[in-house]
Structure 1
Amino acid sequence: MILIYAILAWCLVLSTCWLFVSQCQIGLGNVKRLHQVPCYKCKYFTNSRYLKCTVNPYFACSEAAIDCHDYQPQKPLNL
């Protein structure tokens, strides 16, 4: 009987570890995809909480903005 409880306890521990690792992989995939959003480097990005983008305000800073056809890179400041 003790052997059955030990096996069940190890199965519970291993399934919890497997679930944790799989959720971490899903989270890392989401982070990698969100790092492809080019809004912060676009000249139309306003960095305002009320209006993020002057051209596409509904899609700014979201996954829909990854392939934005209005993206224009910012020009560097000449100091």
Structure 2
Amino acid sequence: MFQVLYFASHWLTPFLVPICFVLAWGLTIAAFLGVFSAVREAIVKSQKMHAIPCTNCRFFTNDHRLKCTIQPFIANTEQAIQCPEFQTKSHSFYSSYLDN
């Protein structure tokens, strides 16, 4: 029995180094591709989230209980990107005076 194991170990020894080399580099490349994929998905998601116009809308309250007075269920979500009620905040003195 030990003679068979001894023969098999000496027969496999020349093949172990290339097999381990390929497996090690394969795992390294797979890890880098996984990290690269995660970073790319994070960038795409952040670009989509920055396209949400709610914070520049006149009806946005910035209150956690009621974020938007017109569309409270889609406020600060991806659905708000094409919000039909979006109105830009006006920063003039008279518009802020009239809002109070």
Q: TM-score, normalization: structure 1?
A: 0.94
* Alignment match of 1:7 (pick from 7, 22, 32): 22
Partners of 1:53 and 1:46 in 2: CA distance: 6
Question: Between Structure 1 and Structure 2, which shows a larger proportion of helix residues?
Answer: 2
Measured on the aligned residues, the alpha-carbon RMSD in Å equals 0.8
Partners of 2:92 and 2:21 in 1: CA distance: 65
Partners of 2:64 and 2:47 in 1: CA distance: 23
The number of residue pairs the alignment matches comes to 78
After TM superposition, the runs of 4+ consecutive aligned structure 1 residues lying more than 2 A away are none
Relative contact order, higher structure (CA 8 A, sep 6+): 1
Deviation larger for 8-17 or 69-78? 69-78
Matches within 5 A, 1:1-79: 1-78=16-93
Partners of 2:51 and 2:72 in 1: CA distance: 18
Q: TM-score, normalization: structure 2?
A: 0.75
SS of corresponding position for 1:37: coil
